[in-house]
Structure 1
Amino acid sequence: MYSRDQASQIKQAFWTAFGQYIAPQSSADGLRINWINYKTGIKHLYFKMQADKKSAFIAIEITHPDPGIQELVFEQFKELKAVLTASVGEEWDWELHHVDENGKTISRIIKTLPNVSVFNQTDWPALISFFKPRIIALDDFWSVGQYSFEVFK
C-alpha cells in the first residue's frame, strides 16, 4: 500500500512519462498541444484520461451542472456518433447522467481498459498504448466535430 504522497508521485511520474512520449505528436490541425490537459474550448466538456490501481479509462465528459444542458450536449454527440466511431475505430460506452466517484452527475462517452494498474510500472506500456491512439483519435474527431458544439461555448 502506498501513502497518499507516494501514490501521487507514482501517478505524476506516469503522466510525465506519457506526456514526454506523446509530446512530439502534433494535433490534427498541425498544432503543438498539451495532450494530458486537452482543451476542447467548450466549458464543461473535457477529454479525460485516468488510470488507477485497477483500470484506466479515456472519456469525453460533459460536466455541465444543468442536467438538461448536459443532455443536449450528449445528444449532439449522438448526432456525430458515426464520425466519432470512425475516428476512434471502435465502439465506446455511452452513459447519460452517470454519477461519478465524487457523487457528481456527469454524462460521458468512455472506453475502459480493465486489469491494469498505474502503480505497476510493467503496465505502463499497456497504458500508453491504450491512451495514445485514442487521445489522438479524439483530437482528429474534434478538429472536425467541434463546430457542432459552438452553441455551447
Structure 2
Amino acid sequence: MYSREQATQIRKSFWTTFGQYMRPIPSADGLKVNWINYKTGFKGLNFSLDVDKEKAYIGIVLNQKDPDLRSLFYEQLLELKGLLHTHMGEEWSWEEVATNAQYQEISQVYTLLPGVSLFHQEDWPAIISFFKTRLIALDEFWSMGKFHFEPLKF
C-alpha cells in the first residue's frame, strides 16, 4: 500500500512521462496540442484519460449541468457513432446516463484497458500505448466531427 503522498507522486510521474512522450506529436490539423488537457472547444465536452490500480480509461465525457443540453450533445455524438468507431478501429461503450466520481450525472463514450495498474511501472508502456493510439485517433475523429456540434456552440 502506498501513502497518499507516494500515490500522488506516482500519478504525477506517470502523467509527466506521458505528456513528454506525446509532446512532439502534432494534432491532426498539424497544430501543437496539450494531449493531457485536450481542448475540444465546447464547454462540457471533454476527452478524459484516467488510470488507477485496475484499469486505464479513455473517453468522451459530456458533463453539462443541464440534462437537456447534455442529451442534445449525446444525440449529436450518436449521429457520429460510425465515424468514431471507424477512426478508433474498435467499438466503444456508450452510456447516455452515467455518474462520475463526484456523483454528478454525465454521459460518456469510452473504452477500457483492464488488468493494468498505475502503480506497476512495468505496465506503463502498455498504458501509454493504449492512450497514445486512441488519443491520436480521437483527435483525427474530432478534427472532422467537431463541425457537427457547431449548432450547439453558444
**Which interval holds the TM-score relative to the shorter structure?**
over 0.9
Question: Which residue does 1:77 correspond to in 2?
Answer: 77
Question: Which residue does 2:125 correspond to in 1?
Answer: 125
SS of 1:59's equivalent in the other structure is strand
Please report the TM-score for the alignment, with normalisation by the length of structure 2: 0.97
Alignment of 1:1-153 (within 5 A): 1-153=1-153
**Are 1:43 and 1:152, in contact at CA under 8 Å, matched by a contact in 2?**
no
In structure 2, what residue type is equivalent to 1:12? K
Which string of whole-angstrom CA distances, capped at 9 and with x for unpartnered residues, describes residues 106-140 of structure 1? 00000011111011100000100100010000100
Give the Cα separation in 2 of the matches to 1:104 and 1:5: 27
Give the Cα separation in 1 of the matches to 2:124 and 2:53: 12
Displacement of 1:2:
1.2
In structure 2, what residue type is equivalent to 1:24? P
5+ residue gaps in structure 1?
none
Count residues with an aligned counterpart: 153
SS of 1:97's equivalent in the other structure is strand
Cα RMSD (Å) of the superposition?
0.8
Which string of whole-angstrom CA distances, capped at 9 and with x for unpartnered residues, describes residues 63-94 of structure 1? 00111111110110110111111111100000
Give the Cα separation in 1 of the matches to 2:4 and 2:87: 37
5+ residue gaps in structure 2?
none
**Percent of aligned positions that are identical:** 53
**Are 1:67 and 1:97, in contact at CA under 8 Å, matched by a contact in 2?**
no
Q: Which runs of 4+ in 1 moved over 4 A?
A: none
Which string of whole-angstrom CA distances, capped at 9 and with x for unpartnered residues, describes residues 21-80 of structure 1? 111111000001000000000000100000011111000000001111111101101101
